[in-house]
Amino acid sequence: MLVSVVKHEGGTKQQARDFLLTASAIGGLIKHLSSISGAEVGCQGEAGSAASMAASGLCAVRDGAPQQIEHAAEMALEHHPGMTCDPVHGLVQVPCIERNGFGAIKAYAATSLAIPGTGKEMSVKFKETSLGGLAVTITEC
Ligand code: SF4
């Protein structure tokens, strides 16, 4: 997430610092109150914590207030409790790669939802009107 901010969004060094400090604070809270270890709490401890940290850092870079940062971190984490840690053959590849990839997507979405105005822009075409999306997509059978 931080690489994306710096490489693709023109993030500054100060924003990178803000991202890392905020993410570290959230990671510290999770570690203090729960765990960041898959061996202790399952995948929420690793993929979940990472998603939560990424969401908080991204929200900070986007000038989110502390409450919004907290909200983003919580939303990114809340999809992970109960996820087992059971990598295939004990290798940290499957399902880890996919889970962390989706964790990044969740972090991005959580930040978008936490900052007002960024999650309420759905076009009327996509609200049971059959005016957009799949409703107007012609498929060849
Ligand atoms: S499933 Fe993979 S990513 Fe999740 S806690 Fe286990 S080793 Fe870590």
Rounded Cα distance between 99 and 118, Å, is 25
Report whether pLDDT(121) > 90. no
- As a whole-number percent, the residues of the chain with pLDDT over 70 amount to 96
46 close to ligand 1 (CB < 6 Angstrom): yes
Residue 115: pLDDT band with limits 50, 70, 90: very high
Going from the Cα of 127 to the center of ligand 1, the distance in angstroms, rounded, reads: 37
Choosing from 40, 52, 85, 93 the residue with most ligand 1 atoms within 8 A of its CB, the one to mutate for a pocket test is 85
In the chain, where are the structural domains located?
2-136
* CA 136 – ligand 1 centroid, Å: 40
Sequence-ordered list of residues with C-beta below 8 angstroms from that of 1, at least 6 positions apart, any chain:
19, 54, 57, 58, 104, 107, 108
Give 85 Cα–ligand 1 centroid separation in angstroms. 5
Nearest Cα residue to atom 6 of ligand 1: 85
CA–CA gap between residue 78 and residue 49 (Å, rounded) = 10
Give dist(CA 110, CA 16) in Å, integer. Answer: 19
pLDDT at 119: 57
Mean pLDDT of all residues in 102-121: 86
How does pLDDT run across 23-63, given as a tens digit for each residue?
999 999 999 999 999 999 999 999 999 999 999 999 999 99
Q: How far is the CA of 2 from the centre of ligand 1 (A)?
A: 21
Residue 116 binned pLDDT confidence (cut-offs 50, 70, 90): confident
What residue has token string 């914590």?
49
Length of the chain: 141
pLDDT mean across residues, the chain:
93
C-alpha to C-alpha distance for 37 and 83, rounded to whole angstroms: 12
Instruction: Please name the residues in contact with 11: beta carbons below 8 A apart, sequence gap of 6 or more.
Output: 2, 5, 19, 61
All residues at 6 or more sequence positions from 60 whose CB lies less than 8 Å from its CB, including other chains: 18, 19, 21, 22, 69
